[in-house]
Amino acid sequence: MSRIHVTTTVNGDTVEFLADPRETLLDCLRDHVGLTGSKEGCGTGDCGACSVRLDGTLVCSCLVLGVEAQGRTVETIEGMATGGELHPLQRKFIEHAALQCGFCTPGILVAAKALLEKNANPTDTEIRYWLAGNLCRCTGYDKIIRAVQDAAAEMRGAA
């Protein structure tokens, strides 16, 4: 199996790696780029733990081939805080105890950020449906919804 050279932008940095064409973007991020914040919970697009942005679009990185990232822009959880400053969602997740084991948290944060960029003032129902592809087994989602709402309110106030 010959590997393919891929050049892509991850969290603003130019990154190069050699991908077996069968490897997913998630495999490449984790095993070739060293960014293990995106998680594999299912490998079938059902859990959302691997959520990243690809040219701004929210996707499951387990459903994208690594070679498809050629020339594209990838944003992962590792790029969510700017400088030393946490994104309001990250801060509110900690404050509201919206995580327990934390394994689904990176994917949920990446997905919630994409929601708030599209809809700054979502209803609880809108948040729940937007995040329906992000499984959490620990929290029952209650505190996650509250944290997203509180972050949204803060971001609206700050804007």
Q: Which of residues 50-79 bind other proteins (CB under 8 A)?
A: 51, 54, 57-60, 62-65, 67-68, 76-78
Q: How far apart are the first and last CA of the chain?
A: 50
The C-alpha angle 147, 150, 151, rounded to 5 degrees, equals 85
Bridge partners (DSSP) listed for residue 8: 15
8 in contact with other proteins (CB under 8 A): no
- Least CB distance to other proteins at residue 147 (A): 10
Which ranges of 4-141 does DSSP label H, i.e. alpha helix?
Answer: 25-27, 88-95, 105-118, 124-130
Q: Is 90 in the site for other proteins (CB under 8 A)?
A: yes
- Cβ closest to other proteins, residue 129 vs residue 156: 129
Nearest distance from C-beta of residue 28 to other proteins, angstroms: 12
Assess 131 for contact with other proteins (CB under 8 A): yes
Q: How far is the CB of 158 from other proteins (least distance, A)?
A: 19
Question: What residues does 17 pair with on adjacent strands?
Answer: 6
